[in-house]
Amino acid sequence: MFLSVSRRTDIPALYGEWIANRFREGFVCVRNPFAVHRVSKVLLAPDKIDGIVFWTKNAIGFARYLDCFSEYPFYFQYTINPYGNDIERLPVPKENIIDNFIELSGRLGKSRMLWRYDPILCSDAISTEYHAQWFERLCQKLSSHAGKCIISFIDPYKKIERQMETNSIKVPDRQQMTELARLISGIAGKYGIIVETCCENADLADCGIAPGRCIDDALFSSITGFKYKAGRDRNQRKECACVESIDVGQYDTCTNGCIYCYASSNRKIARLNTSRHNPKSPLLVGELEEDDIVTERTVESAKLERDSSGR
Structure confidence by residue, pLDDT tens digits, 12-55: 999 999 999 999 999 999 999 889 999 999 999 999 999 999 99
pLDDT at 114 over 50: yes
Cα 297 from Cα 287, distance rounded (Å): 19
Q: Where are the domains of the chain?
A: 2-306
Average pLDDT along the chain: 93
SS3 191: coil
Cα 112 from Cα 107, distance rounded (Å): 10
Region of 234 please: left (phi>0), alpha (psi -120 to 50) or beta. alpha
Contact 9, 249 (CB under 8 A): yes
pTM of the model as a whole: 0.94
* Model pLDDT for residues 116-149, shown as the tens digit of each residue: 999 999 998 999 999 999 999 999 999 999 999 9
SS3 123: coil
Region of 37 please: left (phi>0), alpha (psi -120 to 50) or beta. alpha
pLDDT at 72 over 70: yes
Of 198, 228, 189, the closest CA to residue 49 belongs to 228
Q: How confident is the model at residue 307 (pLDDT cuts 50, 70, 90)?
A: low
Amino acid residing at 285: V
Cα 263 from Cα 159, distance rounded (Å): 9
Instruction: Summarize the confidence of residues 89-109 as an average pLDDT.
Output: 95
| DSSP code at position 202 | S
Q: Was domain 2-306 assigned CATH 3.20.20? A: yes
**Helix boundaries (H) for 159-257:** 161-166, 174-190, 217-224
| DSSP code at position 44 | -
